[in-house]
């Protein structure tokens, strides 16, 4: 690559790192082109950009993005062929897709990754893949917030209902 091409690539990677909610690093060595294309198709529908770049360019982009010493140390440790998935949507959904793909293809593995500027171990990525999606978590939270109000309305409605039932019983007794 020419120096200007490298600079453009570094700028592009830096922009991706800054925009991404999560960045997954994977080892794709041993996959066929069709398998890689299949993974890219699956991830494209989840608002994910998949890139393969030279590790030196990735390191330079992270240094220029100024994420902090923790992230710099992590990226310095990245070695070997690496595919990077920049996630702009729900990181849990992407982790599920990548986890499922890695189970189907034994040569495909997670490396440590980034959630924002927090470094995630492979164990933490697997835990993230087990989480329900963002929409499900929001629905559960709203249900939890709604439950006390619903219960309170039920308690308030029970008093007049009981009073009406007592009046109906009295009226029935007077008829006989």
Confidence (pLDDT) at 12: 92
**pLDDT, tens digit (0-9, with 9 covering 90-100), for 45-79:** 888 999 988 888 888 888 888 777 877 788 777 88
Confidence (pLDDT) at 49: 92
Per-residue pLDDT of the chain (176 residues; tens, 9 = 90+): 788 898 999 999 999 988 999 999 988 888 888 998 999 898 888 889 999 888 888 888 888 887 778 777 887 778 888 899 999 988 888 899 988 998 888 888 888 888 888 888 888 888 888 888 777 878 888 888 888 888 888 888 888 888 888 888 888 888 87
Confidence (pLDDT) at 173: 86
Confidence (pLDDT) at 82: 86
Stated pTM of the model: 0.72
- Rounded to 5 degrees, φ, ψ at 128 are -60, -35
Confidence (pLDDT) at 172: 87
Q: Which residue has the tokens 């929001």?
A: 138
Going from the C-alpha of 65 to that of each of 26, 53, 86, 100, 112, the distances in angstroms are: 21, 16, 15, 31, 19
Confidence (pLDDT) at 11: 92
* CA gap 67, 98 in Å, rounded: 24
Class assignment of domain 3-131? alpha beta
* CA gap 159, 157 in Å, rounded: 6
């Amino acid at each position: 690559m020419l120096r200007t091409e490298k600079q453009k690539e570094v700028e592009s990677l830096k922009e991706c790192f800054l925009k991404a909610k999560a960045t997954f690093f994977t080892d794709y060595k041993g996959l066929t082109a069709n398998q890689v294309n299949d993974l890219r198709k699956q991830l494209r529908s989840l608002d994910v950009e998949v890139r393969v770049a030279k590790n030196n360019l990735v390191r330079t982009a992270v240094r220029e993005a100024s994420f902090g010493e923790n992230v710099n140390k992590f990226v310095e440790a990245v070695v070997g062929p690496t595919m990077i998935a920049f996630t702009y949507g729900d990181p849990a959904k992407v982790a599920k897709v990548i986890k499922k793909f890695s189970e189907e293809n034994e040569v495909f593995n997670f490396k440590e990754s980034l959630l924002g500027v927090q470094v995630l171990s492979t164990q933490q990525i697997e835990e993230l893949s087990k989480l329900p999606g963002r929409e499900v978590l929001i629905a559960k939270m709203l249900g939890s917030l709604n439950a006390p109000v619903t219960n309170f309305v039920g308690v308030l409605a029970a008093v007049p209902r009981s009073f009406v039932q007592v009046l109906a019983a009295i009226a029935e007794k007077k008829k006989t």
